[in-house]
Amino acid sequence: MDYPIDGQQYTLIGDGSTPSIARGDSWEASRVTFKNVSHLSGVACGTSLQGYVRTTYNSLTRKLGQPLLMTPNQSDGKVLAEWIISDSANVNDVLFTVYCWKEERIPHDLHYWHIGGRKANTLELFTEVTGANTLDYDEYAKALLEDKYRRFGVKQPVATPTTQDVEVCF
């Protein structure tokens, strides 16, 4: 069982709409209870991109169950695999979705998966359920650049007084 980084035990307070925890009861009791409702149509309507997670298909399947698998014709070619995770007490209360966006095939290797949701604490809920670290857009963009530099052996540009305000487009 994973515990918070400080080793203390916490309890979730309130309805989960804002991340508020207090020391006290067991960490087990504070875990978000969830249900995979990927098989239900229309439940994820109104969700939008909140962040990213770098992980594998198998890791997501182990933690979240089976995703909804789609052909390019079923999803306009935009989503081929999607997990829809809801509150176990109310399937219409979508905690988050995880999906591959505009890929030619379902990625099975290490990949940046999209995390969608309706709530401000979507990424925190994802981490609570999976234990995986998430990235917001700025962190994702920085990670992509670092991956590119590492993969192609290119040195990262260094900001100088004449280049620090220049926007680089790829």
* Residue at 165 is within a domain: no
Predicted local confidence at residue 42, as pLDDT: 84
**Window from 13-17, 121-125, 128-132 with minimum mean pLDDT:** 13-17
Tell the residue number behind the tokens 């260094």, with chain if given: 158
Asked if residue 160 is part of any domain, the answer here is no
Residue 168, domain member (yes or no): no
Token pair in block for residue 60: 């997501």
| Mean pLDDT, rounded, of the chain | 79
CA distance 160 to 164: 6
Regarding whether 141 and 78 lie in a shared domain, the answer is yes
- In the chain, % helix, strand, coil (3-state, to 5) comes to 20, 30, 50
Q: Are residues 27 and 37 in the same domain?
A: no
Residues 27, 67, single domain; the answer is no
pLDDT in tens, 30-41: 456 889 998 888
Same domain? For 20 and 73 the reply is no
Residues 100 and 41 in one domain: yes
Contact 95, 87 (CB under 8 A): yes
Residues 63 and 112 in one domain: yes
Q: Are residues 9 and 41 in the same domain?
A: no
In a domain, 44, yes or no: yes
For residue 1, the SS3 value is coil
Do 56 and 10 share a structural domain? no
| CA–CA separation, 149 and 133 (whole Å) | 22
Residues 49 and 118 grouped into a single domain: yes
- Residue pair 81/162 in contact (Cβ under 8 Å)? The answer is no
Domain hosting residue 5, numbered range: 1-31
User: What is the average pLDDT across 105-130?
Assistant: 94
Q: How confident is the model at residue 21 (pLDDT cuts 50, 70, 90)?
A: very low
pTM over 0.75: no
Same domain, 21 and 76: no
When divided into structural domains, the chain yields a total of 2
List of residues 6+ apart from 75 with CB closer than 8 A? none
What residues are paired with 99 via a beta bridge? 82, 114
